[in-house]
Amino acid sequence: MEVVSAAALRSATSALLVLALVLSGCGGGDDVVVQEAPTAKERGVAPRAGGTTKIDRLRGARASAARMTITVEDVGRGRFRYRAPRSVRGGLVEIRLRNIGDAPRKAQLWRIEGDHTIREALRIRHPQPDWLRTAGGVSLTEPGEMSSTLQALPAGRYYAAGVLDTPGIVASFTVTGPRTVPAPPRAPARIEALDFSFRVSGLRAGRNSVDFDNTGAQQHHAFLTPMRAAADIKDVRRFFGSRTSIGAPPVDTEQTRETAVLEGGDRQVTQLDLPAGRYALICFVRGRGGGPPHLELGMINEVTVR
Ligand SMILES: [Cu+2]
């Protein structure tokens, strides 16, 4: 029997918050642009007491890839700020996110094409014009932790931010070098996003290097949230499909894992820490023009990790 506890209510609130972040257009956001490298103190950030900084390197290609580190920190009242180097040598790049804030964050990269400015980009919700590209980035990372992604980073003007509706204080940077670069090597685990379904193989309990492969034409991401013991995938679909859900949620949204958003045809190797269990795998992204979140078009699967 489900008892509606304070914890469950908190979870419900955070689930609705996640929904709000993903689905709504409510956030005004900060449109301040900073271009700063991490300070020495930040570079030396230590793991939490009793914790370890887990960096799982993909052997081979990752060792030879260029590397950039993005830092995210909280700056009060739900505001958060990214820092990145001003200039990065492009190619196959290992992008690391160091989270020195208080809440889980991801680093979504955006690339601006043509003569458009970051201030223009930050005003965009839907429709999203073709000159603003979702360019991968680093998956959701816990406070005090660092995780990384290996992906092609072609030359261009970029910024690191949160989601479209809640970008935070973004960090702009320039990628120099070739316009076309090699794709990353294959990883043992794979999440393929199609229009509009997922194919999953090779996920196991612990830290996974995941080949996140968008073989569709649309933008997609992978959102993995642990399912509660009594819940089935229909409960999860109903929960996220309704904006008025009350009662105990069928998932533990505080333990969510989430990749960055990729354009159709793009691929990256990213890290996901997955304790054993059953997960709901969901895409909440809408099309460039708006439209329903892909969850409503069938992008929801149950995945068991052992
Ligand atoms: Cu999608």
Tens-of-pLDDT digits for all 306 residues of the chain? 333 333 333 333 333 334 333 333 333 333 334 434 444 333 333 333 443 434 444 545 566 678 999 999 999 888 999 999 999 999 999 999 999 999 999 999 999 999 999 999 999 988 999 999 999 999 999 999 999 999 999 999 999 999 888 899 999 999 998 877 888 989 999 999 999 999 999 999 999 999 999 999 999 999 999 999 989 999 999 898 866 666 788 999 889 999 999 999 999 999 999 999 999 999 999 988 889 999 999 999 999 999
Asked whether the beta carbons of 58 and 209 are under 8 A apart, the reply is yes
Which pLDDT belongs to residue 183? 83
Ion ligand 1, residues whose Cβ is below 5 A away: 220, 283, 285, 294
CA of 300 to the centre of ligand 1 (A): 10
* Amino acid in the structure at residue 39: T
DSSP 253: G
Q: Can you give the pLDDT at residue 244?
A: 64
Distance of CA 116 from the midpoint of ligand 1 (Å): 26
Q: How many angstroms separate the most distant Cα atoms in the chain?
A: 59
Cα 255 to ligand 1 centroid, rounded to whole Å: 21
Ligand 1 centre and the CA of 294: distance in Å? Answer: 5
Strands 146-153 and 170-176 turn out to be unpaired
> Hunting for tokens 């819940």 — which residue is that?
231
Cα(39) to ligand 1 centroid in Å equals 36
Inter-CA distances, 55 with 87, 148, 234, Å? 23, 8, 36
pLDDT value of position 243? 62
- Interval between CA 211 and ligand 1 midpoint (Å): 16
Q: How far away, in angstroms, is 220 Cα from ligand 1 center? A: 4
User: ∠ CA(227), CA(228), CA(231), 5° rounding?
Assistant: 85
Give the pLDDT confidence score for residue 29 in this predicted structure.
36
Residues ≥6 apart with Cβ < 8 Å to 71? 38, 42, 82, 83, 84, 97, 98, 99, 100
Kindly give the distance from the C-alpha atom of residue 14 to the centroid of ligand 1, in angstroms, as a whole number.
21
pLDDT of residue 130: 95
Query: What is the 4 CA–ligand 1 centroid distance (Å)?
Result: 32
- Residue 259 CA to ligand 1 center (angstroms) comes to 12
CA of 291 from ligand 1 middle (Å) equals 11
How many angstroms separate the alpha carbon of residue 108 from the centre of ligand 1?
A: 15
Q: Give dist(CA 248, CA 3) in Å, integer.
A: 8
Ligand 1 centroid from CA 38, angstroms: 33
Residues 6+ apart with CB under 8 A from 25: 125, 126, 165
3-state secondary structure 124-160: CCCCCCCCEEEEEEEEEECCCCEEEEEEEECCEEEEE
- Which pLDDT does position 96 carry in this prediction? 97
Distance in Å, CA 83 to ligand 1 centroid: 28
Q: Model pTM?
A: 0.80
Question: Both tokens of residue 180?
Answer: 């076309």
How far apart are the CA of 56 and the centre of ligand 1, in A? 27
- Tell how far the Cα of 201 is from the centroid of ligand 1, in angstroms: 18
- As a whole number of angstroms, the distance between CA 173 and CA 159 comes to 6
CA of 125 to the centre of ligand 1 (A): 16
Find out whether 69 and 39 touch, Cβ atoms under 8 Å: no
**Ligand 1 centre from 210 Cα, in Å?**
17
